[in-house]
Amino acid sequence: MDKFLVIGERIHCISPAIRKALAERDTAPIFKRAKEQIEAGADYIDVNIGPAEKDGEEIMTWAVKAIQEEFDNVPLALDTVNRKAIEAGLKVYNKENGKAIINSADAGPRIDLFELAGQYDAKIIGLCAKEGIPRDCEERIAYCTEMLEKAMEAGVDPDDILFDPLFLVVKGMQEKQSDVLEAIRQITEMGLKTTGGLSNISNGAPKHVRPIMDAAFAAMAMQCGLSSAIINPCDKELMDTIKTCDVVKNNILYADSYLDL
């Protein structure tokens, strides 16, 4: 089994500091968060520039080049709904330490992003949704199958796809969590990989509850086969949980110092 893939989520335009840094092309706040996440154990850094309808191509090109030049071509996930911005980032991306991840396609209007993944030999996240939130596990699997067919037509290796079952907030959608976990299990049984925005599940919960909820869900999802997640790697409790699950699942070799690795 492969080690769990951690995609760091903290370079996100929802943060005022990051939004300002992107607009002003100020590397300092971006480099600070990238460094913190890499040191905390992130395998990939997600670069979320938002819709960026006006100058998305320029922003993504600048961000990809700046981060990779500063951090030895660290692997990146290019995160935006702006297709042209994703392609601009892919054009300057250095694959020395790992393929880019396109974040993300879906089974609806963004299904054409699988063509970009094939063209640029990139990994891609496929959101198991088309219009709104999928009703249940069965609908998620149907969308997964649709995307897999499209990806293979575009020449994308199934091993390069991370299917996102759409993690839902527990507060208000508590009854839907079993569908998400079951979708992870079924997608894994199909021989495919999964990922998702793990912190979505604890949105709206009290601050002291969120780390506990995220860590517990991570363990449950990993038992179902979850192979990756978009998370805050600076959350030590969550990272320690993931490392421990990797040990228990025999994904990594046990050592007394495994939490420090």
Query: Mean pLDDT across the stretch 112-137?
Result: 97
**Are the C-beta atoms of residues 137 and 182 closer than 8 Å to each other?**
yes
**Are the C-beta atoms of residues 6 and 42 closer than 8 Å to each other?**
yes
The answer on pLDDT for 132 being more than 80 is: yes
- Alpha-carbon distance 244 to 76, whole Å? 25
Query: Mean pLDDT across the stretch 71-82?
Result: 98
Q: Which amino acid is at 21?
A: A
What domains are defined for the chain?
Answer: 5-252 (3.20.20.20)
pLDDT-derived band at 120 (thresholds 50, 70, 90) equals very high
The model's pLDDT over 3-42, given as tens digits with 9 standing for 90+, comes to 999 999 999 999 999 999 999 999 999 999 999 999 999 9
Helix (H, G, I), strand (E, B) or coil at 228: strand
The answer on pLDDT for 201 being more than 90 is: yes
Structure token pair of residue 99: 């393929």
Query: Mean pLDDT across the stretch 216-221?
Result: 98
- The CA-CA-CA angle for residues 197, 159, 11, to 5°, reads 30
Q: In what order do the strands lie in the sheet with 44-48?
A: 193-194, 161-164, 123-127, 101-106, 76-79, 44-48, 5-12, 228-231
Residue 261: per-residue pLDDT: 86
Higher-pLDDT residue of 1, 149: 149
